[in-house]
Amino acid sequence: MIHLAFLLLQILTPIEGQQENPIVRVEREAWIMGTSAVVIIEADSREFAMQASETVIRELERFESVVSTWRSDSELSLLNTSPVGENIPLSQELFLLLARAEEISRRTKGSFNPFMGSLIKVWDLRGEGRIPNSQELQTATRHAQLDAFALDFTHHTVARNFNSSWIETGAFGKGAALAGLIPLLSGSVSYAEINFGGQVWVYSRNPTEGLGRIIQIAHPSDRNESVLSVRLRNQSIATSGISERFIEVGDESFGHILDPYSGFPVDPWGSVSVISSDPMEADALATALFVMGPDKGFEWARKQQDIAALFIRDNHGQLSSKWTTSFQEFFSVPQHSTKGIR
């Protein structure tokens, strides 16, 4: 069956100025994991470009069938609804993914937490939103800690420990899906840029040639306005913040990123972008650093072998930024001041 999403957008253009052996560019858009995936491929021929773009979209769809928490038949959904205490055998792929997510959670002292489904439920982050009472919040927070799931590394099984616990992939699924594409592109593909729900991954066949591709970083409160830009070669950039994703309940509004310790939504202080050659790490760490906040997060990122992180604080429309040393090299225009952006 031809997926409808394949047909949404398809442009084939020889790249200007390269009349002999022109590089061909294909752009496609698909709707996967509840968000849009824009796939740009440049390759040595039309056929290769089409093939590669199809490989990418098929792989993202395949990955969705393993980790989606929206589809009741995915492998992860089966684990999320499994009887409490039962060891569920998992595919190597899902087990290793959860092990990686757990490891990043430990590394970030739980600021990034894949096991916080119970908290997402009591705030109804996937629906209209609601304010939980203190009893609900207490129970949900208890069931969202690292002991909510027990991973058995010998048998590759996972057991769910509380009846309200489930695994949410919102903060790392897109990054993990992009990471899965890395081994699939090679040879005839000279360049790829994949924007998956705002997270971008760039592939370059010859990373030492050229200046890399410019990727815009949005204003923390307006994703349509660009405030800075970076150049990427074989890296991914993930940004976490609140932007327009507010949930409103009566007079109150809150964002979709929660502090797993308090159980409350994180105050909208701005946004944080992380660049890494590992897209899953970029995704998960951006969420973790947003939870930690611009001060604690900055210190933590610096100490962790200097994660490439950019913090943009939005103080009533007044933006200020700071970044770790390893982020500096990615700016498309050298930045020196750590104070005002504009």
Site residues, Mg ion (CB under 5 A): 171, 283, 286-287
Which DSSP state fits 112? Answer: S
Q: In what order do the strands lie in the sheet with 270-276?
A: 10-14, 24-32, 35-43, 189-196, 199-204, 236-241, 270-276, 308-315, 318-323
What sign does the dihedral 254-258-263-267 (CA atoms) show? negative
Number of residue whose CB is nearest Mg ion: 287
Among 42, 64, 283, 314, binds ligand ADP (CB under 6 A): 283
Identify the CA nearest to 176 among candidates 256, 281, 104, 31. Answer: 281
Among 48, 63, 95, 112, binds ligand ADP (CB under 6 A): 112
Number of residue whose CB is nearest ligand ADP: 170
Smallest gap from residue 54 Cβ to Mg ion (A): 27
Please enumerate in sequence order all residues whose Cβ is within 8 A of that of 174, keeping only pairs 6 or more positions apart, or say none: 33, 35, 196, 197, 199, 238, 279, 283
**Dihedral of the alpha carbons of 332, 334, 338, 339, in degrees to the nearest 10:** -80
Residues 151-190 vs ligand ADP: string with x where CB under 6 A? -----------------x-xx-------------------
| Cβ proximity to ligand ADP, 271 vs 321, nearer residue | 271
198 touching ligand ADP, by CB under 6 A: yes
Which of these segments, 38-46, 50-58, 83-91, 254-262, binds ligand ADP (CB under 6 A)?
A: 254-262
Smallest gap from residue 267 Cβ to ligand ADP (A): 13
Contact assessment for residue 182 and residue 59, using Cβ atoms and an 8 Å cutoff: no
The alpha carbon of 124 is separated from its chain's Cα centroid by a whole number of angstroms, namely 21
- The item of Mg ion, ligand ADP, none sharing an interface with residue 232, based on CB under 5 to 8 Å by kind, is none
Task: Write out the residues near ligand ADP by the rule CB under 6 A.
Answer: 112-114, 116, 120, 125, 168, 170-171, 197-198, 240, 256-258, 260, 283, 286-287, 291
